[in-house]
Amino acid sequence: MDDAHAVVVGAGIGGLSAALALHRRGWRVTVLERAAEPREIGAGLTLMANALHGLDALGLGPAVRRDGAEAPGGIRDRQGRWLSRVDGAEMIRQLGTAALGVHRTTLHRTLREALPGSVLRTSAEVEHVESGPDRAEVRYRGADGPHTLTADLVVGADGLRSRVRAQLFPRHPGPVYAGSTTWRAAIAFPEPVPAAISWGPGAEFGMVPLGDGQLYWYGALNAPAGGHAPDELAALRKHFGGWHAPIPAILAATAPGVVLRHDIHYLAEPLPSYARGRVALLGDAAHAMTPNLGQGAGQAIEDAVVLGAVCADGAEGVPAALAAYDGQRRPRSQAIARAAHTAGRYGQQLRNPFAVAARNTALRLTPGRAALRGMARYADWRPPAG
Ligand SMILES: Cc1cc2nc3c(=O)[nH]c(=O)nc-3n(C[C@H](O)[C@H](O)[C@H](O)COP(=O)(O)OP(=O)(O)OC[C@H]3O[C@@H](n4cnc5c(N)ncnc54)[C@H](O)[C@@H]3O)c2cc1C
């Protein structure tokens, strides 16, 4: 391959996956990250089968599985009664792999370490991206002042509040508040815990083992945007303290300083395209979704694998390759974003006691195989051949 050069904006899970996918196809890659230290915020993550197949295609499946814990999952009510439970063995049979709980920091490090050290430039805030007929240009501000790079391909993987998206689609309204706020932490919790989410009216508590006695938990509540409590953990204990075991014990084992609180934002208005000329959007920059299906990072990893595949021929025909990327990625990721939003409305956000009772009864009556088929609609994805 000639010296095809790609600039990736943002070193989150999406940007690093894209960099790795392109690097493995022979591209010279530069990743520009505005943070001084590359890092990943948000405790833990569930990787569904599609995400793991994507990581397999990037050569990282074994490392990621070694550092995580299988998390088949299920749904309970706040008293702890199972409403629906996934059979782990059946999941592996249908989807080829189990879902996995991983620490975000570990996944991020694994992705970073798979790339040559020279690829990543930190304290590099991208200010402007422009796509020309033959080359694209990226202007960024480094610690030592402004710089300009030229590239055959630019990947906007700069997250929820993507500047690259705003430049490509200046009239797009950007992310909106989904009506829920979340608290998250990864803690030491040696007691074995089944991966599960538990629902009460307008509330959800999730727990995901990460292996080695570590546990990722989160709580989500309907709430106005921008809220803060003087003591977030105390507020959470007040809400979830009466829920089923081991939720009170998990909260008791959590130190106040490790709890993160974030409002949930998403792209309510889908983008008309994930590509313009030589610039592609990827991950949350393209399709930030609510977390209710545990698919945001999974979709970013799928994007990266497909981007690598369509760009396998190098700098030749990048705009056509990106049109193919858009065609393969937009319908699926936007359908999953819609489904995630619906899952949130009928799951965590549902408040009306009659509606909650009806939903819980329907879930209890749904056979496990049907529940797994529902999950497989999103998780059953394989990387393109070749
Ligand atoms: C509560 C919650 C729970 C979730 N749980 C799951 C889950 O279980 N499973 C799952 O698959 N997904 C989950 N997600 C979604 C997942 O976290 C995101 O979809 C994923 O991390 C997005 O990765 P990204 O690389 O696209 O964006 P980001 O992680 O946002 O990375 C963007 C990067 O770009 C950098 N950047 C931004 N602007 C610039 C600029 N101008 N110049 C240079 N750098 C820039 C940022 O500093 C950042 O490093 C969850 C999300 C939330 C909110």
In this prediction, the residues of the chain whose per-residue pLDDT falls under 50 are none
Q: Which two tokens stand for residue 191?
A: 């007691």
pLDDT on residue 41: 80
Ligand 1 and 35: CB distance under 6 A:
yes
User: For 253-271, b where at least 16 C-beta lie within 10 A, e where not — what string?
Assistant: bbeeeebebeebbbbeeeb
- Ligand 1 centroid distance, CA of 35 (Å): 13
Asked whether the beta carbons of 59 and 24 are under 8 A apart, the reply is: yes
pLDDT on residue 1: 60
Task: Pick the closest to residue 150 from 131, 167, 163, 164 (CA basis).
Answer: 131
DSSP string, 104-132: HHHHHHHHHHTS-GGGEE-S-EEEEEEE-
Tell me which of 204, 259, 284, 336 to substitute to probe ligand 1's pocket, judged by most ligand atoms within 8 Å of the beta carbon: 284
What mean pLDDT is reported for the chain? 96
- What is the tens place of the pLDDT at every residue in 313-359? 999 899 999 999 999 999 999 999 999 999 999 999 999 999 999 99
Tokens 């904006």 belong to which residue? 9
Give CATH superfamily name and number for 5-70+98-175+267-347. FAD/NAD(P)-binding domain (3.50.50.60)
pLDDT on residue 371: 81
Domain boundaries, the chain: 5-70+98-175+267-347
pTM: 0.98
- What is the tens place of the pLDDT at every residue in 91-149? 999 999 999 999 999 999 999 999 999 999 999 999 999 999 899 999 999 999 999 99
Ligand 1 and 157: CB distance under 6 A:
yes
Q: Which two tokens stand for residue 185?
A: 């932490």
